[in-house]
Amino acid sequence: MCGIIGVTGEPDALPVILGALHQLEYRGYDSAGVALVVDGSLWRARAADGTHSVADLATLTAEAPSGHSAAIGHTRWATHGHPTPENAHPHTDCTGRLAIIHNGILENHAALRSELLSQGHIMTSATDTEVMAHLIESHLSQGRDLTEATRETLRAVRGAFSIAVIHADEPDTIVAARRSTPLVLGLEGNVAFLASDVPALLGHTRQLFALADDELAVLTPGAIAVTTLAGEPVTPDQLSITWDLEAAQKDGYEDFMSKEMHEQPQAVANTLLDRRGPSGELVLDEMRLGPKDLAHIDKVFIVACGSSYHSALVAKYAIEQWVKLPTEVDIASEFRYRDPVLTERTLCVGVSQSGETLDTSEAMREASRLGAKVLVVSNVVDSSMARAADGVLYTRAGPEVGVASTKCHLAQIVALEILGLTLAQIHGTLSPSEIAEVLNGMDELPSLITTALSRAADVDDVASKLTDARDFFFLGRHVGFPMALEGALKLKELAYLRAEGYPAGELKHGPIALIEPGTVVVGIATRNKLSEKLLSNIAEVHSRGATVVLVADDGDEEVAAVADHVLWVPKTNPLLSPVVGVIPLQQLAYRLATLHGHDVDRPRNLAKTVTVE
């Protein structure tokens, strides 16, 4: 996730760009940059400080020339290429007269890059974005104007993008377009704007327009012309904005947690993008560990804390089923102090949204010392764990502000399952068609998550009936067990209610003594190979007076018959079901927290990144 801003018709554009980049920093802040057309030339500055990039950019631009024509700015959350000044946007073409900024991920950038290099283009970054600068350059050299050259370029790229392009030869023009990532346009007198989202523009105009998927806009002073990518004219929808700035940063949602829950389809889609080679095989470019390193692996350890640990537990079921490799999952704070048996044939995977959690990073250090290959799954490019590891696989959820992990948890499950499929490909334990079938199921996840999210009102209704409850058990079997743990953790940390996550089969070995009228049992009853057994466990607690809430696949009436309340979710492959089934658990915790009057973004006693023991 990155933030983009563009302005034309404002001779003093820099303060507008820098102010908007501050507003957009929540979308990413590992680097920032600006490009201005001044007196028929392009002027560019970029900073990559990691946390203060926009502030550094303000210093770098203090001496920038005045009298601006078109201007664009970018704040980056790295996906392709490290967060360095060379990889910071805007990117230029070989002439240095064109500049482009981009939010999104291109899927076919590698093929386009090789083609452009073979034609003699010089690339100076490791980003997917730079290929678009050079593609536009080659279309310009064939006599097209900037708009047509951009249109042609977008016909050649696959993936997600919001872009803005400027060129010194068309000094007042900005060409912008989008597919699958956001872009808004604004107009105020002679000044035309574009930005990733509304807050960046609120201080300047309230006359805002939405650009839809596969539309292209040409901004000139005082005018915006929109067409489809095919060239058909379009009248853009005007947005009616009633938000203040703080509400707008939350995209109109009450809090960051709601906003981030709604970003989950995009987080999962982004994590899936760009993982397949030309013949459909999995190619994890960024991972740094390839078939040579992974073919001889005979054991997998996955180590993490909190919600990341729950993602790891889901992956254990997938890796054992798909790759037939023993897979152990451990809590990082325990792993590092016991004597784990690791060899150079062990793959040790650390899972951490922040990539900075002390327990997990120390556990990875220990694994490395013991000779294992270390791979890190992180949401932050070049986090300290990512740098120290032998390999890295990034979730691409964008920055997560709410303390309770939501979108990162889902993206982690998907990334770890992609890792599982890659190991299955390398070890030959699944055929290409079996892998393709799972990947096709994964491609459907964003829309299934969207459906699950749309049922929040049903969850609210159930939550309103549970406001007096103080004791919750979350029960599941197979992948339902880590889902149960995650549901219980969310309820504890957000609603401050006692909640135990348990493997349902273990209940009869002790905890069932706690079940009495008034206890709420949330059962994860989405279908997997242990569903029948789970339903027997649920019958046991029901007969002891517990109130039973079940998460169930759409239309599963057998499950509905044993529940007091059902939270329906769309059905998917059992190993993928946690990505959909955890949604009502997040919503239940969220709603009970707000009903009890708690701040969901900043739960008491917790911090977003835990860098202490």
Q: Which part of the chain contacts ligand F6R (CB under 6 A), choosing from 37-45, 162-170, 322-330, 353-361?
A: 353-361
3-state helix, strand, coil in the chain (%, to 5): 40, 25, 35
Choice from 162, 357, 384, 395 touching ligand F6R (CB under 6 A): 357
Query: Whole-number minimum distance, CB 376 to ligand F6R, in Å?
Result: 10
What's 159's DSSP letter? B
- The CA distance from 568 to 556, in Å, is 9
Whichever of 473 and 590 has its CB closer to ligand F6R, that residue is 590
Rounded least distance, CB 336 to ligand F6R, Å: 14
Given the rule CB under 6 A, which of 302-310, 365-373, 455-463, 561-569 is the region that contacts ligand F6R? 302-310
**Of residues 306 and 574, the one with the C-beta less far from ligand F6R:** 306
CA-based end-to-end distance of the chain: 30
Min CB(73)–ligand F6R separation in Å? 29
Whether 85 contacts 30, CB under 8 Å: no
Question: Shortest distance, CB of residue 380 to ligand F6R, whole angstroms?
Answer: 9
Closest separation between CB of residue 386 and ligand F6R, Å? 12
Task: Give, in degrees to the nearest 5, the angle at Cα 160 between 141 and 34.
Answer: 60
Taking CB under 6 A as the binding criterion, the range among 248-256, 301-309, 335-343, 453-461 that sits at the site for ligand F6R is 301-309
* Residue 331 found at the interface with ligand F6R (CB under 6 A): no
The pairing of strands 233-234 and 191-195 is unpaired
**Residue of 87, 360, 519, 577 that binds ligand F6R (CB under 6 A):** 360
Single residue of 352, 422, 537, 577 touching ligand F6R by CB under 6 A: 352
**CA dist 158 to 28, 183, 196, 230, Å?**
23, 18, 20, 15
2 assigned to active site: yes
| Closest distance of CB 273 from ligand F6R, Å | 21
Report CA 434 to chain centroid distance, whole Å: 26
- Binding segment for ligand F6R among 71-79, 81-89, 156-164, 349-357 (CB under 6 A)? 349-357
Of 135 and 351, which has the nearer Cβ to ligand F6R?
A: 351
Using CB under 6 A as the binding rule, whether residue 610 contacts ligand F6R is answered as yes
> Is position 384 an interface residue for ligand F6R (rule: CB under 6 A)?
no
How far is Cα 490 from Cα 80, in angstroms, rounded to an integer? 32
Q: Which of 9, 33, 265, 306 binds ligand F6R (CB under 6 A)?
A: 306
CA distances from 157 to 25, 105, 113, 131, 418 (A): 27, 10, 11, 9, 23
Q: Does 354 bind ligand F6R (CB under 6 A)?
A: yes
Which residue number is nearest to ligand F6R in terms of Cβ? 306
What is the CB neighbour count within 10 angstroms for residue 469? 16
Measured from the CB atom, the residue of 110 and 610 that comes closer to ligand F6R is 610
The three-class DSSP label of residue 145 is coil
- Of 388-417, binders to ligand F6R (CB under 6 A) are 404-405
Cβ proximity to ligand F6R: between 79 and 353 the closer is 353
DSSP secondary structure letter of residue 81 = S
- d(C-alpha 87, C-alpha 94), whole Å: 15
Active site residue 259: no
Look at residue 143 and give its three-state secondary structure.
Answer: coil
Tell whether residue 364 is a contact of ligand F6R (CB under 6 A).
no
Contact in structure between 180 and 213 (CB atoms under 8 Å): yes
| Active-site position among 94, 299, 571, 608 | 608
Burial 211-232 (b: 16+ CB within 10 A, else e): beeebbbbbbbeebebbebeee
| Residue 563 CA, distance from chain mean position | 34
Q: Report CA torsion sign: 269, 270, 276, 277.
A: positive
Task: Please identify, using beta-carbon distances, which residue of 270 and 353 lies nearer to ligand F6R.
Answer: 353
Given the rule CB under 6 A, which of 143-151, 300-308, 437-445, 542-550 is the region that contacts ligand F6R? 300-308
Q: Smaller CB distance to ligand F6R: residue 399 or 446?
A: 399
Residue 405 CB, shortest distance to ligand F6R, in Å, is 3
Instruction: Name the one range near ligand F6R by CB under 6 A: 79-87, 306-314, 519-527, 559-567.
Output: 306-314
CB of 569 to ligand F6R, least distance (A): 20
Alpha-carbon distance values, 213 to 45, 73, 76, 220 (Å): 30, 21, 21, 21
> What's the rounded Cα separation, in Å, for the pair 251 and 611?
30
CB of 379 to ligand F6R, least distance (A): 8
**Closest Cα partner for 207 from 229, 221, 192?**
192
Q: How far is the CB of 310 from ligand F6R (least distance, A)?
A: 8
* CB of 413 vs ligand F6R, minimal distance in Å: 12
For 603, the 3-state DSSP assignment is: coil
- CB crowding 22-57: b at 16 or more within 10 Å, else e: bbbbbbbbbbbbbbbbbeeebbbbbbbbeeebbbbb
Residue 545 burial by Cβ neighbours in a 10 Å radius (0-12, 13-18, 19+): exposed
- Active-site residue (options: 2, 305, 348, 408): 2
Q: Which of 93, 105, 103 is nearest to 211 (CA)?
A: 103
Site for ligand F6R in 479-518 (CB under 6 A): 489, 493
Number of residues that bind ligand F6R (CB under 6 A): 15
The three state secondary structure string of 383-448 is CHHHHHCCEEEECCCCCCCCCCCCHHHHHHHHHHHHHHHHHHHHHCCCCHHHHHHHHHHHHCHHHH
Among 302, 305, 462, 551, binds ligand F6R (CB under 6 A): 305
Binders in 55-94 for ligand F6R, by CB under 6 A = none
Smallest distance, ligand F6R to C-beta of residue 498, A: 17
Query: By CB under 6 A, is residue 353 in contact with ligand F6R?
Result: yes
What residues form DSSP beta bridges with 293?
none
308 in contact with ligand F6R (CB under 6 A): yes
Are 226 and 215 contacting, i.e. CB atoms less than 8 angstroms apart? yes
- 208 is a contact residue toward ligand F6R (CB under 6 A): no
Confirm or reject binding of residue 383 to ligand F6R (CB under 6 A).
no
Considering the complex, state which of residue 125 and residue 357 has its C-beta at the smaller distance from ligand F6R: 357
Phi and psi at residue 315, in whole multiples of 5°? -65, -30
Catalytic residue ranges: 2, 608
User: Which parts of this chain interact with ligand F6R (CB under 6 A)?
Assistant: 305-308, 352-354, 357, 360, 404-405, 489, 493, 609-610
